Amino acid sequence: MKLLKLSIASLKDFFFDLFFPIHCLGCNKIQNADDPDKYSCQPCFQRINIRKGFECAFCASPTSQGETCPFCRKDHFLDFIWIAASYEEPLVKKMLWALKYKFISSTKAPLGRLLIRFLKQKNKDRFFDSYRSEIVLVPLPLHRLRLNWRSYNQSELLADELAGEFKLEIAVDVLDRIKSKKPQAEIENKEERIKNTEGIFICRQPEKIKNKTILLVDDITTTGATLDECARILKEAGAEKVIGLVVAKG
Ligand SMILES: [Zn+2]
Ligand SMILES: [Zn+2]
């Protein structure tokens, strides 16, 4: 089933490429359709700024490694947030948008490389080398109806890129999304946002994450509430630590 879905996604990309020549989303130059990084040419990719500092996922105060600050730790479950780039970077914004709404799954390649560049720049590859057997990549799941509509889960595509690069274990069926929700950005009130995420995820295979450090991968975070709800479910199921990893914060 998964293979079928992926091949439908690549078929869509194939026809898209055939009828619409590919332009770099940064400088608009025409690109070779076979190039996995066609949506971001090398010079444009290199110009993307990796985020310098880390911050708390919930109050955005600067923290040394993206850990949740002592104040927010009291009522949150996510231990760290790692944000690769700014959503204000026009090329990052366009690639995320293409991945999410334009069915262009091949933007996963440059976005995956951006995550890899970020993780290496922050020496997280050394962290993976030291703790490889204790780390599991978990992509943020999509609701089944949305998955059928888009035919791929963008977070899973990104997590796949990381699993390949860093030789990390990936568990795609651990978290399941059983309800959809209103987009978090549409809800102003903090309590409402927390309520909005309640009961939308369940953990299917707790044995895969027991005592593990989870690298929870998503394309974008806004308030951190969805990542936090996943962290709550994962920890209830036995996970030791949960680190959110996103391309950008919107
Ligand atoms: Zn370019
Ligand atoms: Zn905080």
From first to last of its 250 residues, the chain has per-residue pLDDT tens of 555 555 776 777 677 666 767 889 999 998 888 887 888 999 999 999 999 999 999 999 999 999 999 999 999 999 999 999 999 999 999 999 888 877 778 788 899 999 999 999 999 999 999 999 999 999 999 877 777 777 788 999 999 999 999 999 999 989 998 877 666 666 667 677 666 777 889 999 999 999 999 999 999 998 999 999 999 999 999 999 999 999 999 8
Please name the amino acid found at residue 148. N
Say if CB 211 and CB 73 are below 8 A apart: no
105/131 Cα distance (integer angstroms): 30
Measured CA to CA in angstroms, residue 224 lies from 146, 157, 195, 216 at distances of 21, 21, 13, 12
Q: Is the pTM of this model over 0.75?
A: yes
235 alpha carbon – ligand 2 mean position (Å): 19
Say if CB 190 and CB 158 are below 8 A apart: no
Residue 174 has a pLDDT of 92
Three-state secondary-structure class, residue 118:
helix
b/e burial code for range 86-97 (CB count within 10 A of at least 16 → b): ebebebbbbbbe
Say if CB 73 and CB 55 are below 8 A apart: no
40 alpha carbon – ligand 1 mean position (Å): 5
18 alpha carbon – ligand 1 mean position (Å): 20
pLDDT digits (tens, 9 = 90+) for 57-80: 999 999 999 999 999 999 999 999
30 alpha carbon – ligand 1 mean position (Å): 9
CATH number at residue 123: 3.40.50
Query: Quick one: residue 95, left, alpha or beta (phi over 0 = left, psi -120 to 50 = alpha)?
Result: alpha
Domain that holds residue 141: 2-249
139/159 Cα distance (integer angstroms): 6
- Token look-up 């993206």 returns 66
How many domains does one find in the chain? 1
Strands 169-170 and 135-139: parallel
First-to-last CA distance in the chain? Answer: 32
Helix, strand, coil percentages, rounded to 5, for the chain: 45, 20, 35
Residue 11 has a pLDDT of 77
Residue 76 has a pLDDT of 97
82 alpha carbon – ligand 1 mean position (Å): 26
